[in-house]
A and B are shown apart, each in its own frame.
Chain A
Amino acid sequence: MVGLITAIIFVPLLGALAVCTWPQKNGRPIALMFNVISAACALGLWWKFDTAATELQFVERHEWIPAINAEYLVGVDGLSLLLVLLTSLIIPFAFLARPLPGGRGFYATMLVMQSALYGTFTAQNFVLWFLFYEMSLIPAFLLIKIWGGENRDRAATKFFLYTFFGSVGMLLSFLGIYFAKGTFDFTTLASLGKHGLLTGRLAWLAFAGIFVGLAVKVPLFPFHTWLPDAYQTAPTGVSMVLTGVLSKMGVYGFVRLLIPLFPNQIKIVGPWLLVLAVCSIVFAPLAAWAQRDLKRMVAYLSINHLGYCMLGLFAVAASPVVAAEIDMHAALSGVFMQIFNHGITAAALFYFVGLLEQRSGSRRSVDDFGGLMQRTPLLCGWMSVAMFSSLGLPGLNGFIGEFLIFKGSFAVAAAFTAIAVIGLLITAIVFARAMQSLFSGPLAESCSAFPDLLRKEKLVVVPVTLLMFVIGIAPQFMFNIFNTTVVQMSRLLS
């Protein structure tokens, strides 16, 4: 009997095999088919998920490497489920993005990455988790390196070295923890973490190793410089997955590992972490403002949005005072919402940039477009929705997460939050500027033959945008997924 989670993890791998052996050159239909299957499994998981249960659900435990206590242990709580759903949503969305890199290899690689992502979000044992974590790195590297645009070699190498460097630190730290405590189990480690896993210098070394590894992945300022290059170069679909899901692995790691395992260390360096988060929030959109390349601009804004997540997490975990329950719940819920919202919004933005890129013949500088509203009103309209969602307009999904994050972090770190609000403002400026130069003014010569949204593009855009509206207006169904987890986590923290 194969468990649901195992099925979710292995269906994309099977899909990758199937795509490789598929006789036709176009692997997309078969890849999408396997995506539908895994998405159906994920929905089944959601359907059967008990929102009130406090422990891990759908747990599957098998012996794997008994010598080092490594088990095949998977299970989901609210956060994991949220991320599994996000992955199931973003990957097919990415497969539908344009311009399409051809070939079966692309789809197979993406499917391998999808499997690794599912594994990362459900594994509850460090060794297994780390396996999947690294397993996602290699496809990402290949996808940038083989199917990327200009400068892809440099960007791919940079991405790989950066993240790999972080992973090595993390592995060493976990070995240290293992030698001290003899377990790799997340739940056990988290309960041990309250009293301090390690002591003295070793604790700090382990903390630093894990912190850097995750900070690179998120990425947190100043470990972010791989990101603009990688996102800019990667093909649209890959950028969507990188920002939509891969970056969430870092946030997930912070929530699942760093904060429960090192509550004391994180309290001591808390203010500095908040400084880093605020730097992400303020400097990234400023840099985005100065970009001409649309993809690079969206990439920088991604850093900014993940900065909000970090702000919320650090505020509750790192504040010297214990936050009130309401603030804790607000910040954590906000972070979880933001994880999901940023996933779909940023992916949608990349998708739209891809559409523009395809229409213009792979040009995507702000200066290459103008007056699009006259030629392609539908494209502009739907793209504006994604932009407004990204800048946190109420009524769309972005606002809910940001409001809760700010609400929660204001109570414990008012000054930092007040500065972070500047980030909201600059994001608005960036998008206002982009909309001005893309959509308005006289129609640019180069854009005069653009087709408006095609039917197949509408089929992709409309559901995603509707989801943004639904979450923005009636978000309760999202909160139901992770409310219990939020309560559990805030108990762990206080």
Chain B
Amino acid sequence: MTPTLQIFLIVSGALFSIGLLAALSRRHAIFILIGIEMMLAAANLNFIAFWRFGPQHQPPTGVMIAIFSIAIAAAEAAVGLAMVIAVYRHYHTTNVDQLDQLRG
């Protein structure tokens, strides 16, 4: 079985869906962050897949973007975790149901 674009897209779609589900349904902030990371991973997979199955002999743009994206995701994860810790210190909880300060 030769790998085709469809297979990659199906995998990345599944990964994205799982990530989304995690971000929406988990109540713990860190799990939500993990969900977000999964969605980002799905996006990276898409970039590389579209590059690999795109026209031949072109510069490796997809890989470059994926690497950028991973770096940003890392930074984002660091900020996110820091915020989670700050929230925890302040509210003594990481349960997002109780964090409704954004309500007007």
Q: Do chains A and B touch in the complex (CB under 8 A)?
A: no
Binding site for B on A (CB under 8 A): none
Binding site for A on B (CB under 8 A): none
